[in-house]
Amino acid sequence: MNRRLLIAVDGSLHANQGLMYAADLLAGREDISCTLIHIQPVVSQYFIDEAKSDPQIQETLKRVQEHNRRQSEEILQKSKQILVDRGVAPAVIETVGKARSMGLAKDILEYAHTHLYDAIVAGRRGLARVQKIFMGSVSSKLAEYSGGIPLWVVDGDIRPAKFLVAVDITAPWRHILDHLAVMCAGLPELKLTFFHVMQNGAVETDETFAIPGVKEIGELMARNEKQVLDRFWEEATRELTAAGFKRHQLEMLAPGRSGKIGRMISDYATANNYDTVVIGRRGGDQAYYFGSVSRYVVERLSGCAVWVLG
């Protein structure tokens, strides 16, 4: 099945960095196509309304819209050339320029949702209003319009080579494996480190430790978690090697919990120079909403790419 990326562009340095990052994953591949989308500047509704009854304003409006269209096409063609120069086949690249209607972020999300894209790619600071919605506090708008589409946020001039894949083995994780298996296939130098924070049966506290049975329950939970981890890793290695990864490209880390999980993920990624962090939006039946862990990671990490998979 052909997979499709929607890459938001605006001609800025940061948007171009997102393009170059995506190009390293797309180069030489025919099973993944991409669409470059540029949302044109907003035209005042007052201007549009007045043009209906004033021929002079109507002509001016047409000139403004034509200027926006030409500028959008220029940005799209320059963005396409960045991909082509980095080895992406022109045949797998489409371009779309759209007049803004609901707002920059909403228009991108609506287009991605309507046309069933497999991921959205955006430079972190190149699209300021996208960043505000994606990176800010949890909002009902993001929950309403995201539809669970994976989001790749690229912050800086980075190449995809060393991924930290944060997983919660007690929550749904198959979509993470599937996304990696498709999007990262055929990259022999890519390293995937899976990272699960072990709870270690953390049910006892200072107040409850002495209650009969609490310690034993914690030990049972720890054993069960280890069994689940082993099953996850067996399945993960099987699926990813079937997709073309070599065993030496895959690693599993399972540190015990020593603080906030989001901070543990962020600190480990920063300390060990990972260029990409992959994280699920949230587990269970609330996958369309940012959870506290994914929100922390996305807001705090910089100088790398973050994939939020919902």
Q: Do domains 1-157 and 158-310 have the same CATH topology?
A: yes
The hierarchical CATH code for the domain 158-310 is 3.40.50.620
Residue 144: the pLDDT is 39
Taking only the tens place, the pLDDT of each residue in 52-69 is: 666 776 777 778 778 889
Q: pLDDT per residue over 253-282, tens digit each?
A: 999 988 899 999 999 999 999 999 999 876
- Burial of 272 (C-beta count, 10 Å sphere; 0-12/13-18/19+): exposed
- pLDDT 10s digits, 85-119: 999 999 999 999 998 888 788 888 889 989 999 99
The DSSP call for residue 255 is P
Least confident of 109-113, 138-142, 289-293: 138-142
d(CA 21, CA 66): 31
Show the tokens assigned to 257.
């919990």
Distance in angstroms (rounded) separating the CA atoms of residues 143 and 115 = 18
1-157, what's its fold? Answer: Rossmann fold (3.40.50)
What's the CA dihedral at 187, 164, 134, 260 to 10 degrees? Answer: 170
| Phi, psi of 194, rounded to the nearest 5 degrees | -85, 140
Residue 293 backbone zone (phi > 0: left; psi -120 to 50: alpha; other: beta): alpha
Q: Domain residues of the chain, as ranges? A: 1-157, 158-310
C-alpha R_g of the chain: 22
Give the integer Cα–Cα distance in Å for 28 and 143.
35
Most confident of 44-58, 140-154, 218-232: 218-232
Q: What is the pTM of this model?
A: 0.84
